[in-house]
Structure formats: C-alpha cells, structure tokens
Structure 1
Amino acid sequence: MSKSVVIIGGGVVGLCSAYYLQKEGCKVTVIDKSPMNAGASYVNAGYLTPSHIIPMAAPGMITTGLRYMFNSSSPFYMKPRLDPNFIKWAWNFKKSATQKNVDLAIPVIKEVNVLSRELFTAIKNSGDLGSFHLERKGLLMLYQTDKERDHELIVSEKAKFLGLEVKELDKEGISRVEPNININAKGAIHYECDGHSTPSEFMARMKAYLENIGVHLIKNQEVTDVIMNYKKPCEVKTLTSSYDADEIVLAAGSWSGKLAKKLGLKLSIEAGKGYRINVQKETNIKMPAILMEAKMAVTPMKGFTRFAGTMEFSGINHDIRKERVNAIAKGAVDFYDGLSISAEDKNNAQCGLRPVTPDGLPYIGKSKKHKNLTIATGHAMMGWSLGPVTGKLISELICDKDLVMDITPFDPERRF
C-alpha cells in the first residue's frame, strides 16, 4: 500500500528523500519556509567526498574554537553567547571529540560517502534529471607548510587503508593536473576518489523533475506545529494550511531542533554558517581543492568558480560578516597567482546554515517515540555529499525495505 509522506525541509536531503520515496510509489509533499532557492544546499562547495573521513568533532577542535572565539575572521568561529542549548551542545561536542570516537566514525563516514557518490552517478545515468554537471577529477589538498602536509599525510594513510584512491603530488605534480595557473603550494594530497558538481543546477533540475512527476513542493510556508498519531494520519500545520500524512520526515536542517522540541524530542543541533564567493570570469582553475592553511574550498563549477569556507557558530541568522568574506578572498589570492576577486564578487557573497551535531555524524533514523516520524538532519559539512544516500535510506526505512547500510551510528536518539 502506498503511503502519504510529508517532508519538512526542501534542501538536498529533503528533495533526495522525495526522489526515492516517489519511486517506491509514495505520495509525497515537501514543505519549506523558503522559496527553495537559497541556503546551504545552494552555497556549498559541491563536493562528493569519500576522502572526508574525519568527523568534525575531532580532538583539538574545541581548543581551536576557544582560540578563535574573539577573532570573527577566523576559519572556525564561535560567537560568545549565553545560550543554554549552545553551551550544552558545546559540552557534548567536547566529550565526543576523542580519538576513540574518531576511529569508530572513520569507516562509517567512508562507507556512507562512497554509497552516496555512486547514487549521484546513478541519478545522472537514469536520465531523470537530464544532463547535469558531475565530475570525478578528485580533490587536491594543497599545502604551503610542512605542518599541514604532515597532518594530511596521516589522514591519507587512513584513507588508503580503507581502499580509497590517493596520491601525493609535489609542485611539479600539481602543475601537471592544474597546468593553466600557478599555485603557491609546496605540494598536495590528491584524493582521486572524490567528485564535484554544481549544486544550484542539480537542485533546479531535481525540483523540476519532482514537480513533473507529481510531488507537491510547498514553498514559503513555515511549519508551526506537527501532530503525531500512530493509528491515524499525522498532521503538519503551517500558518495558512494543514497537511495530513501517514509518515513525516524531519529534514529541516538547522531548524530541525526547534521542530523536534514540539514533538518532545531532544535533537542537539547547532547552525554552522558557511560562506561562498562566486567568480564569474575565467580563473583557469580546473581542479577542486582545499587550501589547507586558509581552511577553505575551491570548486570549478558550471559557468563560474566558487570559493567557499568557514564554520561560524553564531546562532540561526543569515548575517554576512564582511571580514569572513574578505578572509576567503585573501586565502584564495594567496594560493593562486594572478587571481583577483572583485569587490562586486565579495559584495554578492552568500551564506548557508549547516546543521551540526555534537559528534559530527548525521541523525538518520526512525524516532522511537513517534513510529511514523523519520529524522534526516545534522549532516554538517557533508550535507551535499550525503544527500542521495540519506534520501535512499529514508525511503527504505519508510517503505520497510532492507537498508543499504547499517545506520546504528546515526541513531537520532543516541547519547553523547
């Protein structure tokens, strides 16, 4: 029997969930408070990253955050504030940031990222969305100092052990893979296992496809209440409408914690703000890269080059801090000879809020309290990369299918 499903959240996770649920015969409605044309799913670096095997909650991160707390242009910024939820989240983050937890998370992160990378390819090969930008050139981890090189070599050895394709490049090696621009780097770790895409293009094509096959995309409606009832249809209320459903998916990103409270659930999430600058003119950059000292990402996308980065914990807001935008621009110019980022490019910078859990792993799974509620949020910087696999897992959970992987580490009600 087909199910009626309401998905709260129209980002990449919500849309991918709708994509796979409709393939199982479900009647799907997606509700979002925005026009579904901005936010983290549109301003991210577009990476498909099996190489990003280290969770954000790693040893030393809290110390780094405290060191940068009063430097609002730093790559990792925690705005001082007396917010009980943030203080509790930060304490749980500190408790989670142990080598033991990192070691347990590494193979899980690798597996879920590889699965999602292959699902991106399967979506493209299906022809459902038409042709869209998706490449497998890998990712360069560019370094200027021995300190960053030595740090990344440790990560690369773990990646190799897990079967990921990795090479070490010297300066000449960098020139061979990126011949049209001089890069101020001593060397790079080339994660050949990675891919990249253009998020805005993928999202536009996914929305068009979903609407064409009958998925209802409800824009500009904020969910104000959710009424759960296991024996009868659930009800999702907005300011102007009400929607009944057999199943509800909570995929509201950084806003998920607020909605979870209405359902009597404790979902620890903090909004981690990231920024992006798009440069429309030709940059001659052809390879995606992480600039390690600058702690930022560079992605050649369809029609432009994106420079993105920073992690800012300052609550739920879309305020643009110019000093953080300038830091991204400076980091890029320091690595690429002849690159210029105009004042207009910087003035057009945008930001997005990434939902971050205390241990750096997403929440994916059924609620124990509400059997017809499924949670899909908390992906932090891996949201884009994990969109398809999360959507696939959500469809399998709701439609009682065998899961493509063990999701125990993603339990939404796990303890920290």
Structure 2
Amino acid sequence: MGKRIIIIGGGIIGLCSAYYLEKDGHDITIIDKSEMNSGASYVNAGYITPSHIIPMASPGMISKGLRYMFDSSSPFYMKPRLDKDFIKWAWYFKKSSTIEKVEKAIPLIKDLNVLSRELFMDIKASGDLGNFHLERKGLLMYYQTQAEGDHEMLVAEKAKFLGLEVKQLDAAGIRKIEPNISVNAIGAVHYECDGHTTPNEFMQKMKNYLEGKGVRIYTNEEVVSFKASNEKIATVETTKNVYKTDDLVFAAGSWSSNLAKKLEISLPIQAGKGYRIDVKEPTGITMPAILMEAKMAVTPMKGFTRFAGTMEFSGINSKIRKKRVAAIANNASNYFKGLQISQSDRAKAQCGLRPVSPDGLPYIGKASGYRNLVIATGHAMMGWSLGPITGSLVAQLISNSKTTLDIKALHPERKFK
C-alpha cells in the first residue's frame, strides 16, 4: 500500500521526486512557497551535462572569490557580509577545495550525470509528458585564449578517461559546426556526451502530468513548523493548512537549510544567484556553448536563445543587479560577432537561486534523526542535469530499496574535514 508523502519544494528536484514516487504507487502532495513559475528551475541553461565533472569547490575558487569580492559584475561574486552561516559555509568550502577531494568526487559526479541523462531520455521515450524539447548535440566550450583552452583540455582528458565523448575543434571546426554566426574564439572543446532542453516547457509539462495522475500541488504556502514523535515527522504545518505525512522530502533548494533548522538539522547551503536573458529574435546560434573566459552559458531553446550565467553569493534575495545583466549581454556580443542584446531583452532578465553545498556535491539521503525524512538539495549548477536521477534515488530511499549507485558521499549530514 502506498504512503502519504509530502514533498516540500516544487522545482526540478521536487517534481522529479514526485514523478518516480507516484509510479511506485504513493499518494503525493507537493508544497511550494512560490507560484512555481520562476526561480532556478526556470532560468537555468537547460544543460544535461555529464561533462561537468569538476565540483565547484575546487582549488583556486576561494582566491577567485576574494579577488572578485568587490566587483559586483564579476562572474563569481561573494558579497562581503558578517553572517554566521555564510562564514561557516565558506570555511567548509575552503576545506573541500583540495585536489584530493576533487579527484574523489569526479567519478561520482560523472556517474550521476550519465544516469540522469539516460533517465531524461527514458522520460521522453515514455510519452508521459508528451513531446518536449530534448537534444543531444553536445556542449561547446569556446575559448579565446590558449591558457583557457589548455585548462579545459585537462578536464577533457579526464572526461575521455572516464569514457565520455570529447573532441577538440579549431576555428575552422567551429565555423563548420556553427555556420550561421561568426564566433570570436580560437578553439573549442566539444563534449558530445551532453544534451540540452527548454526548462520552462519541461517543468510545465511535468506539472500537468503529475496533476493528471492525482498529485496535489499547493503553491504560495510556506512551511512554518513540524511535529514529530518517535523519530518520525507526523505533521507539516504551513501558512494555510496542517498535513499528515508518512514520509517527507526536503527539496526546497536554497531554502532547505532554513527548513532543516526547524528540525535542528545542520544543512550548510548558500544561495548562488544566476541570471538569464532570453532573446526571441533569431540569433543564428544552433549549438549550446559555454563562453569560457566570461563564465557564461548560451543555449538555443524552443523559440528563443538563452544567455545565462554568473554565480553570486549575496544571500537569499531576488534582487537583479543591472551590472551583472550588462556583463552577460556584453560578453555575448564579444563572443558572437554582430550579436546585440537589446535593452528591452536586458530589462526582462530574471534570476534564480541555486542551492550550493560546501563541497559541490548534492545532499541526497535520509536524515539520521528522523526515520521518514529524505533530503534532496544542494545541487549547485547541476540541479537541472541531476533532476531525474535525484528523483529516482529519493523514491528508492523511501522504498528502502538498494540505490542505483553508492550515495554515501552525498549524505546530508556528512562532515567537511
């Protein structure tokens, strides 16, 4: 007999968890504090990225953060502030940013992404969501300097060693693969293993599918408290209602840390703000790409081209910094000759908050103090790519079945030594 399961959070992780839990026969309720039409799951680059094998917590990132700290238009920005949670997170981040820890994380990140890519393909093949945009063109890493190219080739060699499909392109190769626009780059690494989607479309079709299957979705409800006994959470109280539950899933992204505090669980997370500009006019861009020196993404989506990027640590807020929007638009013009992003498109820029753990690995697992609580958050820039595999793992954890792969390293209460 199915369980009553409440999922807190209606982003890609929450919806994919509901997708697999519903298939296991459970009774699902999703609660979200927003309208569920904006945020990180809607403004991301739409990448499915087995190629993204390096966690954000890597050697040199702290020094970059310090260097960029007083430049609010930089691609990696940490707003200086005296905040206990931020300082603790930054210390854990520094301890995680070692070569040894990065090398240990790489195979797990690769396996998670490959499995998730196949699950994306399975969802499409199932027809559950109808026809939605999903392509396997790969991902181009454009570089304008040889130093950046050499750095990416080191990553490419690791990716090849792990069995991923990678090619190197010179300027002529770029012109051949992207003939309709002139790219200002001396070369590119082509990760043929990657794919891309249109997030807004996928999210809406997933919501429609889940509601058609009887999943209840409540928006504009904020969770305020929990009641527990015998190491089990019994009820969830929101600003509008009280819900009984057999099992509970935390998939609230950057807000998960505040929720965890209500249960006296420490879950170090910082919100990493990303921005996007959508251009509906034809751009000639047909290939997903990352502009390496600019640290930003370009994705041809269904009906528009998306320019996205930056990682801003300034707390939980939705403030749009015009300098950062301008930097994205200007960098796009620098890499694509003749491309100009209008002031109108810039004015419609949106942002989303990505939940970033200190070591760049997601939190996926059961909380030790509560037998019926599963935590699924902290995916940083890989949240979209890892949506399906995370949802599948959540369903396996709730069913007490063997997980698809060993996820001990993802335990929500792991120590950052």
* C-alpha distance in 1 between matches for 2:384 and 2:330: 25
Write out per-residue CA displacement over residues 264-312 of structure 1, whole angstroms, 9 at most, x where no aligned residue: 1000000000000000100010000000011100000000000000000
* C-alpha distance in 2 between matches for 1:231 and 1:278: 47
Determine if contact 1:139/1:192 at 8 Å carries over to the other structure. yes
- Within 5 A, what are the aligned runs for 1:96-107? 96-107=96-107
Determine if contact 2:231/2:370 at 8 Å carries over to the other structure. no
> CA shift at 1:401, angstroms?
2.0
> CA shift at 1:229, angstroms?
3.2
Q: Is 2:245 aligned against 1:240?
A: no
| Paired position in structure 2 for 1:110 | 110
* C-alpha distance in 1 between matches for 2:208 and 2:139: 30
Determine if contact 1:234/1:248 at 8 Å carries over to the other structure. no
| Paired position in structure 1 for 2:191 | 191
Determine if contact 1:271/1:316 at 8 Å carries over to the other structure. yes
Determine if contact 1:134/1:197 at 8 Å carries over to the other structure. yes
| Paired position in structure 2 for 1:9 | 9
| Paired position in structure 2 for 1:353 | 353
When the two chains are superposed, the root-mean-square deviation of aligned CA atoms in Å is 0.8
| Paired position in structure 2 for 1:327 | 327
Determine if contact 1:141/1:188 at 8 Å carries over to the other structure. yes
Runs of 4+ aligned structure 1 residues displaced above 4 Å come to 230-233
- Within 5 A, what are the aligned runs for 1:217-366? 217-230=217-230, 234-366=234-366
Write out per-residue CA displacement over residues 78-101 of structure 1, whole angstroms, 9 at most, x where no aligned residue: 000000110010011001000000
* C-alpha distance in 1 between matches for 2:87 and 2:401: 39
> CA shift at 1:340, angstroms?
1.1
Q: Is 2:127 aligned against 1:127?
A: yes
Q: Could you say if the C-alpha distance between residues 230 and 323 of structure 1 is closer, same or farther in structure 2, counting changes exceeding 3 Å?
A: same
* C-alpha distance in 1 between matches for 2:233 and 2:246: 5
> CA shift at 1:409, angstroms?
1.1
Write out per-residue CA displacement over residues 218-263 of structure 1, whole angstroms, 9 at most, x where no aligned residue: 1010111122335776211111101111000001000000010010
Write out per-residue CA displacement over residues 334-368 of structure 1, whole angstroms, 9 at most, x where no aligned residue: 00011110001000000000000000000000011
| Paired position in structure 1 for 2:399 | 399
What secondary structure does 1:413 align onto?
coil
| Paired position in structure 1 for 2:73 | 73
**TM superposition score normalised by structure 2:** 0.99
What amino acid does structure 2 have at the position aligned with 1:251? A
| Paired position in structure 2 for 1:158 | 158
Write out per-residue CA displacement over residues 139-158 of structure 1, whole angstroms, 9 at most, x where no aligned residue: 00000001100100000000
In the alignment, structure 2 segments of 5+ residues that lack a partner are: none
Determine if contact 1:28/1:215 at 8 Å carries over to the other structure. yes
Determine if contact 1:273/1:352 at 8 Å carries over to the other structure. yes
What amino acid does structure 1 have at the position aligned with 2:375? I
* C-alpha distance in 1 between matches for 2:233 and 2:134: 39
* C-alpha distance in 2 between matches for 1:88 and 1:266: 11
In the alignment, structure 1 segments of 5+ residues that lack a partner are: none
| Paired position in structure 2 for 1:31 | 31
- Within 5 A, what are the aligned runs for 1:361-400? 361-400=361-400
| Paired position in structure 2 for 1:167 | 167
